[in-house]
Amino acid sequence: MQNYANPTHFLRLVRVLLPVTAGLTTGLLAVGLYLALFVAPADYQQGETVRIMYLHVPSAWMAMFVYLVMTSAAIGTLVFRHPLADVAQKAAAPLGAAFTFLCLTTGSLWGKPEWGTWWVWDARLTSVLVLFLIYLGIIALWQVIEDPGKAARLVAIFTLVGAVNVPIIKFSVDWWHTLHQPASVFRMGGPTIAASMLWPLLIMAVGFTTLFLTLHMLAMRNEILRRRLRRLSMLAADGAAPLGVVAEPAE
């Protein structure tokens, strides 16, 4: 693992892994979409609307998975001071926000025909909305602090505070929801689900995960290049950009 602390090694690893994950993602999403749109049956209650679930549930899963990735990266930044951890953390935040946004919009599109309104203060949607706000806060914190090293440590602290808070938020929103809407509302998914629906769902979920991994690697590569560029620009501004510097890998 320490070997990949060196960004140049990491960039080499990306070059090897990228075609694999990109190909895997394309294949999985193609199969998953085919199954979700054409093979899986329409629900006897919800009709065709159930097909939104194949997007909604995987993106909800990604919203949490990306936060998990960011939390481990935050620990990597604060505890192990791994140089790639804050790159990973910064690259993941906008992707997590995008998946969370997707989860919210698909949830809303599913809610309109099912519940008759575009937005319902359903426990799960509300929790995801709060998670979305936390993602936006993390992105804002990245943007306003200029020094990447300092930003990384402060964002890592906030990410961990959020990680402790997310289960509490989930618990309190569930409690709040049962308090205000005791009537049973049909929930998406559920413990019992037919195999014809489960397979497309699993394949889409795995496809979304590999999609995230691919994009995450690309975004990390961008971030490494951005830091290299920043360093070189600073050297150039100091009037001390010797020839060798450009060939030297970023640190």
Partner 1 sequence: MSQKPQAEKRQAAIQTRRSPLAALLVRDLRIGRRIGGAVSMGVVFFLCLVTVTPFAVGPDQALLARIGPAILWIAALLATLLGLDRLFQADAEDGSLDLFLMSETPLELIVVVKCLGHWLLTGLPLVAASPIFGLMLGLEPAALARVTASLLAGTPALTLLGAVGAALTVSLRRGGLLLAVLILPLSVPVLIFGVAAAGDPVVGFKTPFLILCGLTLAAVALTPFAAAAALRHAGD
Partner 2 sequence: MNLAAPHSGFVIAAYAIAFVVIAAMVIGTLADYRSLKKSLERIAARARHIGDARS
Partner 3 sequence: MQIEASALSVERGGRVIFAGLGFGLRAGEALLVKGPNGAGKSTLLRALAGLLPLASGDIRITPATEARLDHDDFGSIRSKIMNVIDFKGLERDSGEKPGSTFSPPALAELCHYIGHADALKPALTLAENLAFYAALLGGGEIAAALARLGLAGIADLPAAYLSAGQKRRAALARLVAVARPIWLLDEPLTALDTMSQTIVGELMREHLEMGGLIVAATHAPLPIAARDLVLGRPL
Residues at the interface with partner 2 (CB under 8 A): 37-38, 42, 47-49, 51-52, 55-56, 59, 94-95, 98, 101-102, 105-106, 109-110, 112-113, 211, 215, 218-219, 221-222, 225-226, 228-229, 232-233, 236, 241-243, 245-246
Label residue 148 exposed, middle or buried (CB < 10 Å: 0-12, 13-18, 19+).
middle
Neighbouring C-alpha atoms within 13 Å toward the C-beta of 178: 5
Whole-number minimum distance, CB 171 to partner 1, in Å? 8
Is the Cβ of residue 12 or residue 230 nearer to partner 3 in the bound state? Answer: 230
CA distance 213 to 21: 7
3-class SS at 238? Answer: coil
Residue 227 binding result from partner 1, partner 2, partner 3, none, given CB thresholds of 5 to 8 Å by partner type:
partner 3
Least distance to partner 2, CB of residue 164, Å: 28
Task: Go through the chain and tell me how many residues it has.
Answer: 251
Of 59-67, 152-160, 192-200, 238-246, which part binds partner 1 (CB under 8 A)? 152-160
Measure CA 220 to chain center: 13
105 binds, among partner 2, partner 3, partner 1, none (CB under 5 to 8 A by kind): partner 2
Cβ at position 201, least distance to partner 2 in Å: 14
C-alpha distances (whole Å) from 30 to each of 26, 34, 112 are 6, 6, 27
C-alpha closest to that of 216 among 31, 23, 70: 70
CB of 14 to partner 1, least distance (A): 29
HEC string of 200-240 equals HHHHHHHHHHHHHHHHHHHHHHHHHHHHHHHHHHHHHHCCC
Under rule CB under 8 A, which residues in 130-189 are in contact with partner 3?
146-150
User: Which residue lies nearer to partner 1 by CB, 154 or 241?
Assistant: 154
Contact yes or no for 96/61 (Cβ under 8 A): no
Question: CA–CA separation, 157 vs 152, rounded Å?
Answer: 9
Per the structure block, which two tokens stand in for 203? 């394949």
Q: Which amino acid is at 95?
A: L
Span near partner 1 by CB under 8 A; candidates 90-98, 135-143, 206-214, 215-223:
135-143
Among positions 22, 141, 235, 241, the unique one binding partner 1 when judged by CB under 8 A: 141
Asked if residues 189 and 60 have their Cβ atoms less than 8 Å apart, the reply is no
- Given the rule CB under 8 A, which of 3-11, 85-93, 176-184, 228-236 is the region that contacts partner 3? 228-236
Tokens describing residue 72: 């481990």
Which of residues 29 and 173 has its CB atom nearest to partner 2 in the complex? 29
Residue 133, binding choice from partner 2, partner 1, partner 3, none, Cβ under 5 to 8 Å by partner class: partner 1
Identify the residue among 15, 81, 150, 187 touching partner 1 (CB under 8 A): 150
